[in-house]
Amino acid sequence: MPVSRRRFIQGSTGLTAMGAFHFLPNREGFAMEQTGRATQRVVDAPLFIATWPFGKASCEQAVKVVQRGGSMVDAIEQGIWVTEADVSNASVGIGGIPNADGQVELDACIMTGPDHNAGSVGGLQDVLHPISVARLVMEKTPHVMLVGEGAKQFAMEQGVSPTDLLTADQKKRWEAWKKQQGAEKPEIDEDHHDTIAMLGLDAQGNLYGGCSTSGWGYKMPGRIGDSPIIGSGLYVDNQVGAAGATGLGENVMRHCGSFLVVEMMRQGATPTEACEQAVGRIAELDPKNLGNLDINFIALNKQGVYGAAGTSQGFKYSMADPRQSQVLEAKALSEKSIGPEGGNRK
């Protein structure tokens, strides 16, 4: 089986992969290749993108999984394992910030383009890899989403061993937060969120995605965010593209954010434009100011073009393919960049 294949997307003169290649820098979320006088866009598959700089290690792992003969679903799952197992990441998996009662509750989902299938878990406790339980829900049950005790019971029945997710450090921080609770409301800010959403494209042009988080730090017990909600934290449409979200889930899930990004791509927007337009549309409808929304999207289309945009200054995302991996700056939107009334006016 070919483990990594180059997909030629727009051959302007019908040139083939056999020519002499000169690679131009990757500036726009895809590689440009100069072959004689023609420039064509190429995609090295498998290609993965993910939210935040820590997503780079997950994307690199996902590429390796496919190169070693794994499936794209294995790649999404095992790529996300890297972030879930990282105790220094305070918003995914072990080491995640607990809820107001000091319990770590995890949300995750996975989606596969070719069969438009999905699996999801919400408010899952004591499981190191919620992405794997989301996959099991997709593959072993007739359902899409399991939450709370039922999700945990299912995980245990499937042979998952329980793991204590609350690290000593997070326990100390939670105790300190508890003491001064009331003085300060729990917030999602730079220190309180780091969800991983990951999207992948294989050499056949099929799309996949996954998402995993411990959500809003010190959230109310039972609160579920956008991340495990298909269409909000993640959406994959194998005809068009895929999108994922990070940020304040309440502001994503009231607008079906990732679905909206994919729909913008369906209407012809590039991935970056689609993310911008979705944020603009949300800002137009939402009573909150654009500056208070705290929402960020990544997107990847079926042609292998990718991009990101959001309201957080300094929101970064990662990519990896068999040739390279890098952290990229997302487009940061302000009231000015999308117009005085919000919306996607140019």
Q: Confirm if 97 and 90 have CB atoms less than 8 A apart.
A: yes
Q: Report the nearest approach of ligand SD4 to the CB of residue 247 (Å).
A: 5
Q: Are 43 and 9 in contact (CB under 8 A)?
A: yes
Binding site for ligand SD4 (CB under 6 A): 91, 193-195, 213, 215-216, 225-227, 246-249
Q: Which of these is catalytic: 35, 51, 195, 213? A: 195
CB 138 within 8 A of CB 91: no
Whichever of 216 and 218 has its CB closer to ligand SD4, that residue is 216
Residue 196 buriedness (CB in 10 A; 0-12 / 13-18 / 19+): buried
What are the backbone dihedrals phi and psi of residue 169, each rounded to the nearest 5 degrees, phi first? -65, -45
State how far Cα 297 lies from the chain centre: 8
Q: Are 135 and 163 in contact (CB under 8 A)?
A: no
Q: 100: how many CB neighbours lie within 10 A of its CB? A: 16
The minimum distance between CB 215 and ligand SD4, in angstroms, equals: 3
Residue 333's identity, in one-letter code, is: L
| Spatial distance between the Cα atoms of 288 and 108, rounded to a whole number of angstroms | 27
Q: Name which of 195 and 318 has its Cβ closer to ligand SD4.
A: 195
CB of 158 to ligand SD4, least distance (A): 24
Nearest approach, Cβ of 233 to ligand SD4 (angstroms)? 6
Q: Which is nearer to ligand SD4, 79 or 228 (CB)?
A: 228
Residue (233 or 342) nearer to ligand SD4, CB: 233
* Active site (annotated) includes residue 195: yes
Residue positions annotated with a catalytic role = 195
